Amino acid sequence: MLSFEDFSLSYGESAPVLQDISLTMKEGECLLLTGESGSGKSSLIHAVNGLAYQYYNGKSRGKVLFQGEDLSSLPIYKIALRIATVFQNPKTHFFNINTTRELLFTMENMGLDRVEMDKRIEALLSIFPIEKLLGRNIFALSGGEKQILALASAYLSGCPFLVLDEPSSNLDEGSIAVLKTMLQTLKEKGMTILVAEHRLYYLMDFVDRVAFLEKGRLCKLFSREEFLALPEESIKAMGLRARNKPSLSLPAWKNEGALSYYKEGGFASFSFGKIYGIVGENGIGKSTFLRKLSGLENERGSHFSLFGKELTKRQRLALSAMVMQDVNQQLFGDSVEEEMDLGKARQKRSLKERNEGIIDGQENEQKKTKPHHATKEELLSALGLSELKDRHPMSLSGGQKQRLAIAATLYQEAKLFFFDEPTSGMDQKNMLRIARLLKSAIREDRIFFIVSHDYAFLQEVADEVVEISLLNPSLQRVKA
């Protein structure tokens, strides 16, 4: 059904991102594509959906054939009628504000009549329970809810071939279970599925083969049985995530410390020198909680204080640095090195202009030490980005962009650090790199807040876990 024949792909004058790929997928097969960040998984996906040639201006050698036709010569709209894609960033899918209209949009573009559209919506809801997402404002959805909506839209296309790029990256456990059920059902219906993924455990029951990419080459191709039989040492050596579902067993949040957030009937406090993991289901308000604490979002009737002194929104912003869930929104430099400098310059100016004595009170509460400020070179080296310092941030892979945003954030002279899903779409090796860096970067004059569904990561890095649903109801955003 799909075959790569000695296929290579490059962008501009750079070295090939894919080299001599030969691979054939049979109809009805589910193939897992895995490997470290930057190994070429997304580029292979783009070679299948046509974006590599007609959007990214890639140059190819060899062939990639779908049902006997060369995909590099087909216009994207013809490919889209046969191959449905779910991208790593769900925001790139949407054309409407209303969620229901977005689902109908796909079918309207295919020229389906109302009867057929109703049938497909009914079939969708029978296997993919997303009623709570219908009739909603897309901009009000969480990252995980947007991912689910993108999956639903791909299903409604009715294409025989489904391509997914890190579909579980922003999903909670419940949503991953729904995703697993959906993919199993689609496979049973005969759909062919190609999924690029770092989070492996939910696929192990039904994937047929596993393709391992390394530096743009297809190094190994396993049957499901062969992959499951590999010793754990081999999985770690390949830089892959665990094949079993991770668990989380960390101390619960103690609700004490110098930073306080309160409103009538609710109170939450956090201590300096600690890393807090923020967990909870998609859409419950984890990202909103970060925005409130950091000053990006105000809330009527709420108050924030540090060492008993009230903090304004401007002061919270001056003290804060954040890695957003979609890091494309915060990369502005012309090179990796320049990106590091931009955030630091802004933060230093902000602290100087807006400090107003807020930081000074810490001297009486904390030990008078001279903390080590990691250098730009140390941060880039710790996250494997040193050799990329002259690259444009937008030319990096998704995982490399994520690591750059983390490095640039830690380079800032902030006190409150916020990380929203910092390891989404991250392989095992780089997940551990980030965990080690955060553990080394926490100091007695800093607090780290990490929103994450990645339990393996939180188990490595967090001191306490805040279950967002257990916060006082008055501090929560009411779930839609």
Which H, E and C letters describe 158-205, residue by residue?
CCCEEEEECCCCCCCHHHHHHHHHHHHHHHHCCCEEEEECCCCHHHCC
With contact defined as beta carbons under 8 Å apart, do 417 and 322 qualify?
yes
Average pLDDT over residues 159-176: 87
* Backbone CA torsion sign across 248, 251, 255, 261: negative
In this predicted structure, the answer to whether residue 459 has a pLDDT above a threshold of 80 is: yes
449, with CB counted inside 10 A (0-12, 13-18, 19+), is: buried
Q: Which of these three, 184, 202, 237, is where a domain ends?
A: 237
395-439 pLDDT, tens digit each: 887 788 999 999 999 999 899 999 999 998 788 888 999 999 999
Q: What is the pLDDT of residue 478?
A: 36
CATH number for the domain that contains residue 405: 3.40.50.300
Instruction: Summarize pLDDT for 274-293 with one digit per residue, the tens.
Output: 999 999 888 788 888 899 99
What DSSP character marks residue 75? -
Both 100 and 219 in one domain: the answer is yes
Q: Is the distance from CB of 76 to CB of 53 less than 8 angstroms?
A: no
Give the 3-state secondary structure of residue 4. Answer: strand
Given a contact cutoff of 8 angstroms between Cβ atoms, the answer to whether 347 and 414 are in contact is yes
Q: Is residue 464 over pLDDT 80?
A: yes
DSSP for 250-318? -PBP---SSEEEEETTEEEEE-TT-EEEEE--TTSSHHHHHHHHHTSS--TT-EEEETTEE--HHHHHH
pLDDT at 359: 55
Report residue 472's pLDDT band, with 50, 70 and 90 as the boundaries.
Answer: low
Domain boundary among the residues 237, 270, 305 is at 237
- Is 249 contained in some domain? no
Asked whether residue 280 falls in the same domain as residue 208, the answer is no
155 and 81 in one domain? yes
Q: Is there a single domain that holds both residue 66 and residue 106? A: yes
Mention every residue, 6+ apart, whose C-beta is less than 8 A from residue 12. Answer: 57
Tokens read off for 57: 């201006």
Mean pLDDT over 205-212 rounds to 96
98: which DSSP letter?
A: B
Whether residue 451 is contained in a domain is answered as yes
Model-level pTM? 0.81
210 and 266 assigned to the same domain: no
Are 233 and 368 contained in the same domain?
A: no
- Domain membership of residue 126 (yes or no) is yes
Judged against a pLDDT cut of 70, whether residue 190 lies above it is answered with yes
Amino acid 364: pLDDT: 47
Q: Determine, yes or no, domain membership for 230.
A: yes
pLDDT, residue 22, reads: 95
- Considering the chain, what percentage of its residues have pLDDT values greater than 70? 92
246 domain residue, yes or no: no
Mean pLDDT of the region 35-46: 90
Say if residues 5 and 63 touch (Cβ distance below 8 Å). Answer: yes
Residue-level pLDDT at 346: 63
Final residue before a domain boundary, out of 205, 237, 269: 237
* Average pLDDT value for residue range 88-101: 85
* Cβ pair 278, 466 in contact under 8 A: yes
User: Does residue 226 sit in the same domain as residue 319?
Assistant: no
pLDDT of residue 473: 58
Asked whether residue 248 is assigned to any structural domain, the reply reads: no
pLDDT bucket at 363, cuts 50 / 70 / 90? very low
CA atoms within 13 A on the CB side of 442: 19
What confidence score (pLDDT) does residue 477 get?
47
CA separation for the pair 206, 204 (Å, rounded): 6
98 belongs to a structural domain = yes
Tokens representing 278 are: 């923020």
Decide if pLDDT at 200 tops 60: yes
Domain span at 331: 259-475
Distance, in Å, from the CA atom of 28 to the CA atom of 190, rounded to the nearest integer, reads 5
User: What is the pLDDT at residue 431?
Assistant: 92
Average pLDDT, the chain: 87
16 DSSP assignment: P
Quick one: 230 and 291 in the same domain? Answer: no
What letters, b where the CB count within 10 A reaches 16 and e where it falls short, cover 124-144?
Answer: beeebebeebeebebeebbbb
Domain match, 211 and 333 both: no
* Helices within 411-473 (DSSP H only): 428-441, 455-461
Asked whether residue 242 is domain-assigned, the answer is no
Instruction: Identify whether residues 169 and 313 lie together within a single domain.
Output: no
Q: Are both 62 and 190 inside the same structural domain? A: yes
User: What is the number of domains present in the chain?
Assistant: 2
Mean pLDDT over residues 71-97, rounded?
87
- Cβ neighbours of residue 193 under 8 Å, at least 6 residues apart? 29, 30, 31, 161, 162, 163, 164, 183, 186, 187
3 state SS of 5? strand
**Sequence-distant (≥ 6) Cβ neighbours of residue 109 within 8 angstroms:** none
One domain, residues 265 and 197: no
pLDDT at 446 over 80: yes
